[in-house]
Every structure is written in C-alpha cells, then in structure tokens.
Amino acid sequence: MNILRKGQDLGRGMTVQTDGYHAKRKEVIGILYALRDAGVKLPRLEVKIAEAGGQTIGLGYHNNPTIAISAELTGDKLYAVVLHEVVHTAFNYRGHDESCPLMASTVKTHSKRVYLQAFMKYAKAAKAVTK
C-alpha cells in the first residue's frame, strides 16, 4: 500500500516524517480502533505522521485511504483532527462546514464527546455505523 513515502512533500507545508513518528502513529491508530469499537465501519486507512510547516495540521484524501496528521498535535486537538480527516477520507466528504464543531476549516475547542457526536452524524449519513 504505502501511497505516501517518508520525506515526501505533501504540499500545504506538510512533509512525511522520517524519524520519531512511531508513538504518534500508534496514538492515531488507537483513535481509529476506538471508532471501530464504537461501531463505525472504516476502510483500512494508511496513517502518516507529518511535520507541519504551515497552518495545515492534517490531510485527508478523497477516494484515497490515507490520512496525514501533524506530529505536534496532542490531546483533544489530535482527536478532532483525526476524526475530521477520517470524515474526508472514509466518507468522501468534500469541503468544510463552519457551523459544525468537527468539520470547520479550523479546530474549534470542544470535548471529545462533542467531536464524536458530530463524527457519528457523518458516519450515519455514510451508512458506516454497524451498531
């Protein structure tokens, strides 16, 4: 699979990290497994950790099972960006919705519960909820 290569420039100021990314990647994959355990059917996603040089802190590709997440993200902000990029990638959602706590073009400060509720609306619309 490995669509994105280490060191590859992703555009928008992001470059795939080559060193020290294992712990962050494991954290992102843990979020994906938690979504699966909550009853969301997701395709197999390739997870890349990137160095963010600009304002972009995550990338999700339409019709391409790959997400790239900034290595600098932590906590609720990491959770929100991962869910946001999964919506773009797994559910082929284009664009942004500034009224949505999850799908706005910038990260809004909310709890994980609020992010998950917003995510589940998109998952249900995509018929990706199994429970």
d(CA 107, CA 117): 15
Per the domain annotation, does 3 fall within a domain? no
- Residue 119 tokens read as 């995510």
Per the domain annotation, does 94 fall within a domain? yes
Per the domain annotation, does 130 fall within a domain? no
CATH at 61: 3.30.2010
Q: What does DSSP say about strands 46-52 and 66-70: parallel, antiparallel, or unpaired?
A: parallel
H or E stretch at 109: none
Q: What is the pLDDT of residue 48?
A: 87
Counting the structural domains of the chain, the total is 1
Per the domain annotation, does 82 fall within a domain? yes
Per the domain annotation, does 128 fall within a domain? no
Q: What is the pLDDT of residue 105?
A: 92
Q: What is the pLDDT of residue 130?
A: 80
Average pLDDT value for residue range 107-125: 95
pLDDT per residue as tens digits for the range 36-53: 999 999 999 999 888 877
Contact 69, 52 (CB under 8 A): no
Confidence band, pLDDT 50/70/90 cuts, at residue 1: very low
pLDDT per residue as tens digits for the range 58-110: 988 877 898 999 988 999 999 999 999 999 999 989 889 999 999 999 998 99
Nearest C-alpha neighbor of 80 from the set 97, 53, 51, 104: 104
Per the domain annotation, does 2 fall within a domain? no
7 pLDDT above the threshold of 60: no
Confidence band, pLDDT 50/70/90 cuts, at residue 2: very low
Global pTM reads: 0.86
Range of the domain at 109: 9-121
